[in-house]
Amino acid sequence: MSLWLDESYLKQIGFRLEGFKPLNTHVFNCRCSICGDSSKKQSKRRGYFFEGKDNLMYSCHNCQTNITFAHFLKDFDFNLYKQYALEKFKVNAGRVETPFNDSSPDVESFMESFKPKVIEEKFNSFYDGLPTVAECRPGHIAYDLLKSRKIPRKFYDELFYCDNFPKWTESFTGKYSTLSEHPRIIIPFWDNNGRSPYFQGRSFGKLEPRYFTYKILEDSDFKAFGIDKIDRHDVVNVVEGPFDSMFLGNCVAVASSALNKFHIPGCKHRYIFDNEKRNKDICSLMRDTIKQGKSIVIWPSYIKEKDINDLVLAGHDVEQLIAENTFDGLAAQLKFNEWVK
């Protein structure tokens, strides 16, 4: 059975599929890359990956395409398909018995946390009724904010707009009931089972606090935006804010400055802290990360911008900056000592 292999390769290309997100166990949704889906309504997502007999299938409700994932991948990325075909041959030949070579208890516990659990009925359609930012169109406060921050267009379909944040949250918490009426962008945090354990509400203008992060599902302790899209065979970039993560491949945002507390067993990580050398808490966390022997980005002295989004707005090549300024061990300690002066 190669279902796990198909899903592994699907998650590698997921960030390249517009509107891609998991809906349920072995079910994924996106805009159809074959027919382009609806040209009038950018929020339409009528492409589905789902479990077949022993693999993934792909079907589009618009162009009526119905093919195997292998066929889809071959047309979508032929070079990756060749790698996939070789690995599938090994699986069929019995040379690969398990999805991952690392079978340590920590990895098993991590994968166990991704198994579906019973969710209260009221969370099944949690974001129903909220328009996506893509549906808001140019001129709308939410659309214009993302455009001004140069957020990649593919994320407009994944973020929601809420015009009365305190009222919307009344159905599941009284935490924000004392706030005055105001709008926010809603940023869902999805896991690998199509659940949204957390969401973040981002304000407009100078309203503080800028971000509220709320835990929806009490049976989940895993808080990370983008965890549903990562390739655990590649280096996982770890940043603080979801907006920052949208500019990097294979990246998660933990909605906290304590980046080094995030760890996926069996994966390699790169921790990318904000550029705040006058912030004692950030400096302390960076020191701890270096002492733990982890890879970390130490920003060059000429960089004055605070975070990745600001770097993008300033015209920097962020991925090149990160690649050239990633250190660990003694080199990281020496670079940190220079940076913090």
Domains in the chain, ordered, with CATH? Answer: 3-99 (3.90.580), 121-215 (no CATH), 236-340 (no CATH)
Residue 221 has pLDDT above 90, yes or no: no
- 3 state DSSP class of 48: strand
How wide is the angle at C-alpha 309 spanned by C-alphas 320 and 279, nearest 5°?
95
Predicted confidence at residue 15, as pLDDT, reads 83
Helical axes 78-92 vs 69-76, angle rounded to 10°: 150
Question: What are 68's strand-pairing partners?
Answer: 57
Predicted confidence at residue 133, as pLDDT, reads 95
Under 8 Å between Cβ of 58 and 72: yes
Q: How far apart are alpha carbons 16 and 33 in whole angstroms?
A: 10
DSSP-assigned letter for residue 13: H
Lowest-confidence segment of 29-38, 138-147, 213-222 by average pLDDT = 213-222
Top mean-pLDDT range of 18-22, 57-61, 211-215, 292-296: 292-296
Question: What is the average pLDDT across 90-106?
Answer: 51
Question: What is the average pLDDT across 158-181?
Answer: 89
Question: What are 29's strand-pairing partners?
Answer: 21, 48
Q: Name the average pLDDT for the chain.
A: 85
Under 8 Å between Cβ of 266 and 100: yes
Burial letters 63-87, b for 16+ CB under 10 A, else e: eeeeeebbebbbebbeeebeebeeb
Phi-psi region of 150 (alpha: psi -120 to 50; beta: other; left: phi over 0): left
Under 8 Å between Cβ of 329 and 268: no
- Tell if the pTM clears 0.75, that is, is over it: no
The pLDDT > 70 percentage for the chain reads: 87
Residue 193 has pLDDT above 50, yes or no: yes
For the chain, where are the E strands, in sequence order? Answer: 21-24, 27-30, 47-51, 56-60, 66-68, 160-162, 184-189, 198-202, 211-215, 236-239, 251-253, 269-271, 295-297, 326-327
Under 8 Å between Cβ of 288 and 294: no
Predicted confidence at residue 177, as pLDDT, reads 82
What separation in angstroms does the CA of 262 have from each of 59, 225, 265, 281, 288? 36, 12, 10, 17, 13
Predicted confidence at residue 112, as pLDDT, reads 42
Question: What are 237's strand-pairing partners?
Answer: 251, 270
Under 8 Å between Cβ of 210 and 117: no
Asked, as a colleague might, if the bond just before 209 is cis with ω within 30 of 0, I would say: yes
